[in-house]
Amino acid sequence: MLVAAGVDFWRWQPHPEVWVLVGGVAALAVYALRVVGPKVVPKGQPVASRQQLAWLILGIVLLWLASDWPLHDIAEEYLFSAHMIQHMLLTYFVPPVLLLATPEWLARLVLGRGRAKRAFYFLARPVPAALIFNGFLLLTHAPGVVNLSVQNPVVHYLVHTGLVSSAFLLWMPVCGPLPELRISYPAQMLYLFVTSIIPTVPAGWLTFADGVVYSAYDVPARLWGISVTSDQQAAGAIMKLVGGSFLWVVITLRFFQWAAKFSDTDKAADQAGPAHDLSWNGAAPRKVNGTSNGNGARPGVTATGS
């Protein structure tokens, strides 16, 4: 049902503020890579790798899809489940992709060396980052906040800005461009596992709620004939299944990367030979009076090279 009671759900609506945002991100990225990068990066080194450029393009496309028509309009006017898809894109997909696109030199240049850097380094640690993101996530699913953000464009903008900003903090220990802020693979798996638990609270609440949770979405015109309660239940399922599944995909990926590191270490140890074989130029240890050691000297006698 695309048109109901004179309402065209799919009518095109321009969003110049979104175009300015997405275009601004793209313009800043091009300026950083074309103008700033060559002045900062040593000669002979690439300003950005091909993978980083690919991540950048993907991140800009995802940001545009999450913020513009038709998802933006459906999410804000008719379906809370579409609103949930929008939030999944803005918190679980766009931030990590853009972090993977950011070169280390650019991150250090943006942060500088002052108080802003120290504050960011404190907030981007696993515990503060997880608390900020999950606390903000729970807050933005309160009925009063959701209803107000749908009715007030300024509040709506602030909510999305807070969500995206806290999501960048959340993903810094996992895939941020600064190696000193990234934690080990086992720590990342535990970190993401704990993060995957918190959203089950609002997801379960939405899935099993009997009445209308968000009055702003209780509108007469229903896209595809989806009722308010079915819409809420779908939103809870999306939050739990899509968000949780994505986190578990990352956890699984990190597990295999961690296991591969051990496999590579074992192979290197096998190729290096026994740890006690310290013979010079690969020569076999010489026997001296029926005994031998790695340098051909008697036990207890130190051999010196000439």
Q: What is the pLDDT of residues 119-156, one digit of tens each?
A: 999 999 999 999 999 999 999 999 999 999 999 989 99
Domain ranges of the chain: 12-264
**By C-alpha distance, which of 106, 99, 113 is closest to 46?**
106
Distance CA 17, CA 282 (A): 69
Which of 232-241, 268-277, 287-296 is modeled with the greatest confidence?
232-241
Q: pLDDT tens digit string along 167-209?
A: 999 999 999 999 999 999 999 999 999 999 988 888 888 888 8
- Report phi then psi at 227, rounded to 5: -75, 165
Q: Which residue has the tokens 């229903």?
A: 222
Question: What are 75's two structure tokens?
Answer: 């999410």
Condensed to tens digits (0 to 9), the pLDDT of residues 58-75 reads: 999 999 999 999 999 999
Cα dist from 243 to 89, 226, 283, whole Å: 9, 22, 59
Residue range 236-275, pLDDT digits in tens: 999 988 889 999 999 999 999 999 887 766 665 555 445 4
DSSP secondary structure letter of residue 8: E
Q: Per-residue pLDDT for 304 more than 90?
A: no
- H/E run at residue 3: strand 3-4
Instruction: Say if residues 127 and 190 touch (Cβ distance below 8 Å).
Output: no
- Residue ranges in the chain assigned as alpha helix (H): 16-31, 37-40, 50-67, 71-77, 80-88, 94-101, 104-111, 115-123, 126-139, 143-151, 153-175, 185-197, 200-208, 228-237, 244-272
Measure the CA–CA gap between 191 and 195, rounded to whole angstroms: 6
- Taking residues 1-16, what's their average pLDDT? 72
How large a percentage of the chain has pLDDT more than 70? 84
What would the DSSP string read from start to end of 208-277?
H--S-S-GGG--S--GGG--HHHHHHHHHHIIIIIIHHHHHHHHHHHHHHHHHHHHHHHHHHHHH--TT-
Radius of gyration of the chain (CA): 27
Whole-number Å distance between alpha carbons of 10 and 103: 39
Structure tokens at 6: 């004179």
With beta carbons less than 8 A apart as the criterion, state whether 90 and 164 touch: yes
pTM value is: 0.82
**Per-residue pLDDT at 264:** 66
Region 160-170 average pLDDT: 96
Return the pLDDT at 5.
Answer: 53
Q: Summarize the confidence of residues 44-65 as an average pLDDT.
A: 96
SS3 state at 43? coil
Q: Are 134 and 86 in contact (CB under 8 A)?
A: no
